[in-house]
Structure 1
Amino acid sequence: MVPLHGQTLASFQESMYFIHYIIIDEMSFIGPKLIQRIDIRLREAFLAHNQLQFGRRSIILFGDLGQPPLVKDIPTYTSTSYGGTLWHSFITVIKLKKIFRQTREQPAQIAFRALLSNLRNAERTIGDWKLLMSRSNSTLSSVEQSIFLSSTHLFATNEMVSLHNKRMLLSMGKPIALSTVEQLRGFTCTIPDEEQLESKIPLCIGQEVMLSVNLWVETRLVNGALGQVKEIVYNGGEIPLELPLFVVVQFKNYIGPIWDHNIPKNIPLVPISRGLCRQLPLKMAWALTIHKAQALTLQRETIDIGNTNHQGLTFIAISRVYDLTSLRIHPTFMFQRYSHIQHSPYVARRKQEEE
């Protein structure tokens, strides 16, 4: 991250001129490196206050420290760097106690909420583990098992996500088009991880996909929006392996202007440019990493908690649904694996921070 200069700096300062409050959601994803970068940028934005933290702007953080930290950094509250100093400058804490996803008051829902609370606090019980195992394949009817075959699958690793997505793609039994990144002639196109674009995207009709960038926030076409491919359109004379002209995707939560009056949720999605590259901002989404699902609410999910016991990973995976009947555990796991959540890195330090 380099300092801003010239017209770039002037445009940034102009766009920030009337901003007084910076509101940031999912604060567990803010590591010491990122919070320091936010501080640097805000000092650049407000030169009159560039000797003060965050350029003398108010920062409001939302989220839950019991959720997983970002992948390539440590929790900010454990840092002894300047990022840790910035974190400890936040001295006003407001705790929100109302749960909005699992709201009903039936005994089963109350038990599910208690299980989630125990998971968040890394307090495992045999009763909670047995309740989870009641949602494993061995206890579900054949009808229920078949329903969950098409549910979103959550895995702890990218490798498992990729494997499941490829299996599901092949199981469709339909022609597969490969959308290959387009690069400026004469240049080599490399896509940094943070750009959220892929060099090659397999596509077929009926495929589950996820939007990988914020396209139009007001209409809910945001990074993480889930949809289904309905049509793949090419320019005349072009064939798969070329970049499609556009892809029609039915986004479940889209609330913007109607493009197809017969199917209001259908939207034409065109390739976007990042540097020297053009590609569709899509990823296969029959399966997701638990980290990627952190901000989502799912109607139905199948979970493989894997062998990693990072703080909050199991809690996030299981809390994405409204109730226990929307959850399938596959494969099953022993109580010993479940009890490992007590030994997740940073749990004790996080509890101390919350106190």
Structure 2
Amino acid sequence: LYKNEGKNVVPLGSTGISAVNIGGYTLHSFFVFAIASNLEELRVQDRKNRSRLSELKKVLKNLDLIVIDEISMVSADLIDMIYYRLESLDYSGRVLVVGDFYQLPPIVKSERNNALFGQSFYAFESSAWSKFNFKPLILEEIKRTNDLEFANILSYIRKGESSLETREYLKRLLRHTVAFESEPTYLFGRNREVEEMNKAKLARIESDEALYFWEIEKIRTVNEKRLNSWAKALPVVEDLHLKVGAPVIFTVNKWGKFVNGQRGTVVELDIDHIIVSTDGRDITLYRHDFELTELNSETLESEAIATLKQFPIKLAFAITIHKSQGMSIESMVCNVDSLFVPGQFYVAISRAIDPGCLKIEYSRNNFDEYIDRVIVKNSEVDDFYKGMKSEY
């Protein structure tokens, strides 16, 4: 709406993944936070960044709206830093934050850890939150699944409500024998399990292996650490190992051809293209261009300072729960052995489009006891939403 009215909008992601998904910048790169993790560190660091802050001030002067995606992963310290930056550089536009605090929490360094999950410090607990004077808009329509029972179960799990009905439903998914039409995607909590499964299952395919490296080109001088951090956050891999017959998952959207999370099977490998069969049709896939950009302070146009080219697919034997954010997955086995943050269980199983093609995998102790530990009420988030509804 803002853009249609000719106004200037910048989309920002709390993580590299969310920044790529919305076609924007990370909070740290846009606001020139670098490695600062709190206000005290930021003030010290700012003494060395006066020229970049001067450029940012020019950008902010011409902006009408800043959109921050995945607000649940923005810590209290980070939202304080954002407010400080906007106030000190005289930003007069609006700020829109989007997300669900019941999902993945901020990643913070804390000495106060409980047995299963670490302590979290949410954006709404910051001193700056009330100063933004946000007006809430609650979206309640579920778009990922058409299965009403599954949608209701997800709603309970999201809020940490573990009823008998919820337990029995999850146990059915645990015992579920699914006749998958194609090999499902496995979701794991940690990278190690993902890498091990992808490597092992690819090795079993009896065909020649192809290796595709990403290609990085610097257009202007760019800090190497910043470049590497940006590249690692992209939804592609540095060295893509593939074989004909391997299942893959698309990691970007391409209108009319494929969407992020859609599965396919490799049918042909060439030097400059890959053919993937999906939904009964063959798609010729070329390297996708990703751009590391900066806003021109005069024109507010994005200018590329580096590019990275790589095929926008990954092996679909397995992916991490964190990397699955934003995806809608058709056939899925969700391994819940190694969950380590609140909201991870909900994020994992809510990637499924059809519960008929979803299986939960768990190999440790009593499943009921485990459910009690991963589906728990978050009193801070509960109180926040109750207060928000009572006020508005």
Shared fold by TM > 0.5?
yes
Q: 2:316 aligned to 252, 269, 285, which one?
A: 285
Could you tell me which residue of structure 2 aligns to residue 205 of structure 1? 244
Stretch deviating more after TM superposition (330-339 or 271-280):
271-280
* Residue 313 (str. 1) matches residue 313 (str. 2): no
Given the alignment, which residue of 263, 284, 291 partners 1:266?
A: 284
Deviation at 1:299, TM superposition (A): 1.6
Secondary structure of 2:322's partner? coil
Structure 1 residues 281 and 351, CA gap change in structure 2 (3 angstroms): farther
Counterpart pick for 1:63 among 94, 99, 106:
99
2:73 alignment partner in structure 1: 29
Contact 2:262–2:328 under 8 Å retained in 1 = no
Q: C-alpha distance in 2, partners of 1:270/1:319? A: 28
Unaligned runs of 5+ in 1: 44-48, 235-245, 254-261
Distance in 1, matches of 2:248 and 2:121, equals 30
Deviation at 1:37, TM superposition (A): 5.8
What's 1:116 paired with?
A: 154
Code of the residue aligned with 2:139 in structure 1: it is L
Question: Pairwise mapping of residues 296-311 of structure 1 onto structure 2 (< 5 A)?
Answer: 296-311=327-342
How far did 1:219 drift?
Answer: 7.1
Q: What residue identity is the alignment partner of 1:100?
A: K
| 1:31-63 CA-partner distances (Å, limit 9, x unpaired) | 34554565577x4xxxxx7454xx122111222
Alpha-carbon deviation of 1:65?
Answer: 0.8
Q: Shift of residue 341 of structure 1?
A: 2.2
Q: How many residues align?
A: 305
Q: Displacement of 1:289 after TM fit?
A: 1.2
Residue equivalent to 1:154: 187
- Residue identity over aligned pairs, in percent, reads 19
State yes or no: 1:91 paired with 2:109. no
SS state of the match for residue 127, structure 2?
Answer: helix
Structure-2 separation of matches of 1:340 and 1:56: 44
Q: Residue 171 of structure 1: CA displacement?
A: 2.7
Distance 2:164 2:285 in 1: 47
Over 3 Å counting, the alpha-carbon distance change for 1:272 and 1:251 in structure 2 is: farther
Structure 2 residue 373 is the aligned partner of structure 1 residue 340: yes
For 1:225 and 1:19, the matched residues in 2 are separated by: 35
Q: Residue 209 of structure 1 contacts residue 229 of structure 1 at CA under 8 Å; is this kept in 2?
A: yes
Distance 1:27 1:103 in 2: 26
The two structures have a TM-score, normalised by structure 1, of 0.69
1:195 has 2:194 as partner: no
Q: Is the CA contact 2:286–2:311 (under 8 Å) kept in the aligned structure 1?
A: no
1:127 aligns with 2:173: no
Tell me how far apart the structure 2 counterparts of residues 307 and 68 of structure 1 sit (CA, whole Å): 15
Give the deviation of 1:9 after TM superposition.
6.2
Q: Distance in 1 between matches of 2:121 and 2:265?
A: 35
Counterpart code for 2:130: H
Report how far residue 18 of structure 1 moved. 5.1
Within a 5 Å distance, the mapping from 1:134-283 to structure 2 comes to 134-136=172-174, 138-140=175-177, 144-145=178-179, 147=180, 150-180=183-213, 192-196=228-232, 198-210=237-249, 228-234=265-271, 246-248=272-274, 250=276, 265-269=283-287, 280=310, 282=312, 283=314
Q: Using a 3 Å threshold, how does the CA distance of structure 1 residues 351 and 158 change in structure 2: closer, same or farther?
A: same
Cα distance in 1, alignment partners of residues 380 and 182 from structure 2: 39
Name the structure where strand makes up a greater proportion of residues.
2
Report the secondary structure of 2:140's partner residue: coil
Shift of 1:284: 2.7
Superposition TM-score, scaled by structure 2 size: 0.63
Q: 1:312, 1:302 → 2: CA distance? A: 18
Indicate the SS of the match to 2:273.
strand
User: How far 1:335 sits from its partner (Å)?
Assistant: 0.7
- Backbone CA RMSD of aligned residues: 4.0
